[in-house]
């Protein structure tokens, strides 16, 4: 058996929550390895809906251990709030089934403040950040001035690091006409948090290494999507971390060989939240139809998602940069009832055909989709649990997508319900 890494192959919101939950029944440990509480996963289990943004999806299942890896930036207030909310729904969450990397960098109130100030200052050039401080927290981590979880448990270390951090942020805030950081209040807040967080703090890399040696199945749970990767995404309209599967190793403290089978969650059409290029975006009645049928609103932000046809060029690109072996195709039922369905197979940029999306921002903005048109289907695919239950045109659509992106469909999701899933290739049975 192998470990499995789940990543988004588009701009996020592909339906990772359901797939991770479906796979977590067979995994013993689920690891978050990047991002922060800007990513939302919705799980529906026995009629109960759970909305998670920082906790690993395994927390709602008995006997599973969730790990928040060192690659995640952690808002400690949000972490405790999310734990409390899950407990209110009858879920047992504690140090016995949740571990947080002691070397994870923290998101503080000053990070959210500077994040929102910057986004407001950008005006029409907004990146589309959630304003939750993820980007500034990663900046401080890379600049070696971050407060890490382990720092909360040593007063002198915390005081010295807070002074350096606040000195930097004071200069930024002054330039934007904002008051200095209230050091006394922030120090008191962190002091109050320390005993609440201490039971969860752990050196997770040896725990994961020992678990893997013992034959435990580990599921690495990614946030956002590969097109939001800070290196391989549509820069600068990206998140502040690496979202591709390679980060599963770095963000958890395990070796690259432990990443295992890489499963790319892929929506049967394309959506995006916030600003940035979107070659196949539809602003007509079909785009509205996709948004309404797919309930395309952000779990965290509540913002309506932009919708468009499936972009095979971009998914083919993320299959290669992300090391994706198989995809889990979601929301096929949203396409039910359409007379025809289009798939982007290339771009026209200034009269030249491109089979990839160039890195240059001005070229990305000019990319016009070149479409291939496939017949739609009138029958319903919702709830199908075998290939035999799918319309012939739907099967043809799936096969064509496989050909265009260079990866096979390992799983097919036909509704938000976890059991409405067709298994083609078992990621854990490598």
Report how far residue 357's alpha carbon sits from residue 338's, in angstroms, rounded to the nearest whole number. Answer: 28
Neighbours of 414 (CB within 10 A): 24
SS3 (DSSP) at 312: helix
Alpha helices in 4-108 (DSSP H): 16-24, 76-88
CA angle 385, 390, 391 (to 5 degrees): 170
Tell how strand 326-330 and strand 261-267 pair up.
parallel
Which of 13, 115, 140, 151 does the annotation list as catalytic? 13
Closest CA to 278 of 170, 369, 394: 369
Residues shown for the chain: 430
Report how far residue 49's alpha carbon sits from residue 225's, in angstroms, rounded to the nearest whole number. Answer: 22
Report how far residue 16's alpha carbon sits from residue 24's, in angstroms, rounded to the nearest whole number. Answer: 12
Q: Is 41 a catalytic residue?
A: yes
H-run or E-run covering 402 = helix 392-405
Report how far residue 290's alpha carbon sits from residue 223's, in angstroms, rounded to the nearest whole number. Answer: 23
SS3 content of the chain, % helix, strand, coil (to 5): 35, 20, 40
Contact 25, 277 (CB under 8 A): no
Which of 21, 37, 41, 333 does the annotation list as catalytic? 41
Contact 382, 416 (CB under 8 A): no
Report how far residue 303's alpha carbon sits from residue 308's, in angstroms, rounded to the nearest whole number. Answer: 16
Q: Quick one: tokens of 32?
A: 């978050």
As a whole number of angstroms, the longest Cα–Cα distance in the chain is 67
SS3 (DSSP) at 205: helix
CA of residue 223 relative to chain centroid, distance: 2
Report how far residue 160's alpha carbon sits from residue 171's, in angstroms, rounded to the nearest whole number. Answer: 17
Q: Is 13 a catalytic residue?
A: yes
Alpha helices in 59-154 (DSSP H): 76-88, 109-122, 134-142
H-run or E-run covering 171 = helix 155-175
Contacts of 177 (CB under 8 A, 6+ apart): none
Catalytic residues: 13, 41
């Amino acid at each position: 058996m192998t470990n499995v890494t789940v990543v988004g192959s588009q701009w996020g919101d592909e339906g990772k929550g359901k797939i991770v939950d479906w796979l977590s029944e067979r995994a013993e440990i689920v690891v978050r390895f990047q991002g922060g509480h800007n990513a939302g996963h919705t799980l529906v289990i026995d009629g109960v809906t759970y909305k998670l943004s920082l906790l690993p999806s395994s927390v709602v299942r008995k006997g599973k251990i969730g790990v928040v890896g060192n690659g995640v930036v952690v808002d400690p207030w949000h972490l405790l709030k999310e734990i409390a909310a899950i407990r209110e729904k009858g879920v047992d969450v504690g140090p016995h089934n949740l571990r947080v990397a002691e070397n994870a960098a923290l998101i503080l109130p000053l990070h959210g403040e500077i994040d929102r100030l910057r986004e407001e200052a950008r005006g029409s050039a907004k990146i589309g950040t959630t304003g939750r401080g993820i980007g500034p927290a990663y900046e401080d981590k890379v600049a070696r001035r971050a407060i890490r979880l382990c720092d909360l448990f040593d007063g002198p270390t915390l005081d010295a690091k807070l002074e350096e951090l606040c000195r930097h942020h004071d200069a930024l805030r002054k330039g934007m006409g904002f008051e200095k950081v209230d050091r006394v209040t922030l120090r008191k807040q962190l002091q109050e948090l320390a005993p609440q967080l201490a039971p969860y703090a752990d050196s997770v890399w040896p725990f994961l290494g020992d678990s893997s040696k013992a034959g435990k199945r580990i599921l690495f749970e990614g946030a956002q999507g590969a097109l939001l990767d800070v290196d391989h995404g549509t820069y600068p309209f990206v998140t502040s971390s690496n979202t591709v599967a390679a980060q599963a190793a770095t963000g958890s403290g395990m070796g690259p060989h432990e990443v295992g089978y890489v499963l790319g969650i892929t929506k049967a059409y394309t959506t995006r939240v916030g600003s940035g290029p979107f070659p196949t975006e539809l602003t007509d009645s079909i785009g509205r139809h996709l948004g309404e049928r797919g309930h395309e609103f952000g779990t965290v932000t509540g913002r309506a998602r932009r919708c468009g046809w499936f972009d095979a060029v971009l998914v083919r690109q993320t299959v290669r940069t992300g090391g994706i072996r198989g995809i889990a195709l979601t929301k096929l039922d949203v396409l039910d009832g359409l007379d025809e369905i289009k798939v982007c197979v290339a771009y026209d940029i200034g009269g030249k055909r491109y089979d990839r999306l160039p890195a240059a921002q001005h070229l990305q903005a000019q990319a016009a989709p070149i479409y291939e048109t496939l017949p739609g289907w009138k029958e319903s695919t919702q709830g199908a649990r075998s290939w035999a239950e799918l319309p012939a045109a739907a099967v043809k659509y799936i096969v064509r997508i496989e050909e265009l992106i260079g990866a096979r469909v390992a799983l097919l999701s036909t509704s938000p319900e976890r059991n409405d899933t067709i298994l083609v290739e078992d990621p854990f049975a490598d």
